[in-house]
């Protein structure tokens, strides 16, 4: 993913298939807030990255690109160290928008955060 936020946060894509994406992110100095917990913004960046990569796999790459249009998140549980895993699945695949559900879990499969992300499909320029 080159020199991007994905690389900066240590996000690694483990599985990319039509309508489903799995990625991991470390909980470390790059992704914690000042009180030592996983930063909600890092969780949201992970969620939107999963949705965006997943949406891109569903469009005509020669003619279309995807961008985040809206995202919301509920942070359920704190995490101080280790690895979190985001699993994104497409809920709606339309011509101009997609809606993705993203669940972020810890190593014990406990829910850390849940997000819903709307992706816009736009014409490539």
Report d(CA 67, CA 36) in Å as an integer: 31
The per-residue DSSP string of 21-90 comes to: EEEEEEESTTTB-TTSSBPHHHHHHHHHHHHHHHHHTTS-TTTEEEEEEEEEEEE-S---SEEEEEEEEE
Facing residues of 118 across strands? 70, 99
Please pick, among 48, 57, 64, 123, the residue that the annotation labels catalytic. Answer: 48
End-to-end CA gap in the chain: 20
81 is catalytic: no
Catalytic sites, residue numbers: 48
């Amino acid at each position: 993913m080159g020199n991007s936020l994905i690389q900066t946060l240590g996000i690694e894509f483990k599985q990319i298939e039509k309508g489903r994406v799995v990625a991991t992110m470390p909980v470390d100095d790059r992704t914690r807030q000042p009180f030592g917990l996983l930063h909600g913004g890092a969780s949201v960046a992970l969620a939107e990255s999963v949705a965006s990569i997943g949406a891109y796999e569903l469009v005509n790459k020669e003619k279309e690109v995807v961008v985040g249009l809206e995202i919301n998140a509920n942070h359920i549980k704190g995490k101080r160290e280790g690895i979190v895993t985001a699993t994104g699945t497409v809920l709606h695949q339309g011509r101009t928008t997609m809606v993705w559900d993203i669940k972020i879990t810890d190593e014990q499969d406990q829910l850390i955060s849940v997000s819903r992300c709307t992706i816009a499909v736009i014409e490539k320029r």
